[in-house]
Structure 1
Amino acid sequence: MRVSVTDAKGQLTELVRRAEAGDEIILTRHGHAAVRLVPVRVAQDAKSRRALLESVRSAAAEKVTPGPDAARSQDFLYGADGLPE
C-alpha cells in the first residue's frame, strides 16, 4: 500500500495497525517512495536475555590471560636511583 505523507498524517493510527498486521505500508513524498512502515521485533524476555549475558560473561572470563604487573610496567624507564635514564 502506498500513501502520501500528507494523507498519512490523518490516518497514521490505522497505517500503524496495518503495518503491525503485516501489510507493507510505503509512505511517498512527491510520488516517490520515502519510507516503509515495519513492525518492531518483540524484545527478548528477561530469562533469555539473562542467559545470553551469562554466556558472554563466561566466554570473556575464559579468554582472560594474566599479563605483567601494571605497577612495574614502567620500570625499564628508570635507573636504580629512581631517575629517568
Structure 2
Amino acid sequence: MEIPVSAAKAQLTELLRRAEAGEEVILTRHGHPAGKIVPFRRRLRGEELLRAIEEIQRSAAKKMVPGPDAAHSQDFLYDEFGLPK
C-alpha cells in the first residue's frame, strides 16, 4: 500500500496495525517513495534463538534435493578418457 506522508499523519494508528499484520506500507512524497512502515521484530536470544535456528535447518533440509557428491562431480564434466565433454 502506498500513501502520501500528508495523509499518513492522520492515519498513523491504522497504518501501524496494517504493517503489524504484514502489509507493506510505503510513505510517498510528491508521488515518490520516501519511507516504509514495517513491523518491529525483536531479537531472539538464548534458547529461543537455538530453537529458531533448528527450525530453519529442518525446513531447509526438507527442501534440499540430493545431487552428485563432490567425489563424482567430474563424471559429468569428462568422458572415460579424461577429456572434457
Q: Distance in 2 between matches of 1:24 and 1:39?
A: 9
Q: Distance in 1 between matches of 2:13 and 2:34?
A: 19
Alignment partner, residue 65 of structure 1: none
RMSD: 2.1
Alignment partner, residue 9 of structure 1: 9
Alignment partner, residue 38 of structure 2: 38
2:19 is the alignment partner of 1:19: yes
Q: Choose 1 or 2 for highest CA Rg.
A: 1
Q: Distance in 2 between matches of 1:43 and 1:17?
A: 20
Q: Distance in 1 between matches of 2:39 and 2:21?
A: 8
Match of 2:23, SS?
A: coil
Identity of aligned residues (%): 56
Amino acid corresponding to residue 16 of structure 2 in structure 1: V
Match of 2:27, SS?
A: strand
Q: Which runs of 4+ in 1 moved over 3 A?
A: none
> 1:8-35, CA deviations, whole angstroms, 9 ceiling, x for partnerless residues?
0000000001001000100000110101
Q: Distance in 2 between matches of 1:12 and 1:40?
A: 15
